[in-house]
């Protein structure tokens, strides 16, 4: 029996299929998971998401399982260690952005109580369900992603743009952009 999935899924890659079926678009509310996903989305700038996805375990190992408080305390020595090790994309500016953004997220947690409150507050706590007949015609930004990107940039966040933020919103379930015929659209 054939299962209908979004057209962007590379059916020949089991990692991609599992990501689509089990993670993409499922609402995330755990701060650690939101921090990890945000960091990984920023790493994909200029690269395919699959490249980053296949390095996710390396990032988890390099960044203490994306423990926000630990990452916010990283020093230049920690950044050098990460760049010397394997398993991550070897871009000093991108690695530095994770550390810098962690510090910004600690401030957001203090101000809003959690990353969950901050991000999900932007969509009134409920996923935005879009009518997507073909992923090729789906939006890649929104008014919300534009607004939040500006807010985050004012806070000093790096490697973030409206397209990256929208991808984060899709992946974290804040926006449901599964194609209408996809098995995951309503579940």
Catalytic residue among 16, 19, 59, 166: 19
User: Which range among 44-58, 105-119, 166-180 shows the weakest confidence by mean pLDDT?
Assistant: 44-58
Q: DSSP E strands: which ranges in the chain?
A: 128-129, 175-176
CB burial of residue 33 (10 Å; 0-12, 13-18, 19+): middle
Predicted pLDDT of residue 177: 97
- Say if strands 175-176 and 128-129 run parallel, antiparallel, or are unpaired: parallel
**159-187 average pLDDT score:** 95
Active site residue 111: no
77 assigned to active site? no
- Catalytic annotation on 19? yes
| Domains delineated in the chain | 14-19+27-176 (1.10.340.30)
Nearest to 118 by CA among 156, 169, 67, 163: 169
What tens digit of pLDDT does each residue of 43-95 get?
A: 998 899 999 999 999 999 999 999 999 999 999 999 999 999 989 999 999 99
């Amino acid at each position: 029996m054939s299962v209908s999935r979004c057209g962007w899924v590379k059916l020949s890659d089991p990692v991609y299929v599992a990501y689509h079926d089990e993670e993409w678009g499922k609402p995330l509310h755990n701060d650690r998971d939101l921090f990890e996903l945000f960091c990984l989305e920023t790493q994909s700038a200029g690269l395919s998401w699959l490249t980053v996805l296949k390095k996710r375990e390396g990032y988890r190992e390099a960044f203490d399982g994306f423990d926000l408080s630990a990452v916010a305390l990283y020093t230049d020595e920690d950044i050098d260690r990460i760049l010397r090790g394997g398993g991550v994309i070897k871009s000093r500016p991108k690695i530095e952005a994770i550390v810098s953004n962690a510090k910004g997220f600690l401030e957001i947690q203090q101000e809003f109580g959690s990353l969950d409150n901050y991000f999900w507050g932007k969509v009134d706590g409920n996923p935005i369900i879009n009518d997507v007949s073909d992923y090729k015609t789906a939006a890649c930004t929104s008014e919300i992603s534009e607004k939040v990107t500006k807010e985050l940039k004012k806070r000093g966040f790096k490697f973030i743009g409206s397209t990256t933020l929208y991808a984060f919103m899709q992946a974290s379930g804040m926006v449901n952009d599964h194609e209408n015929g996809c098995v995951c659209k309503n579940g």
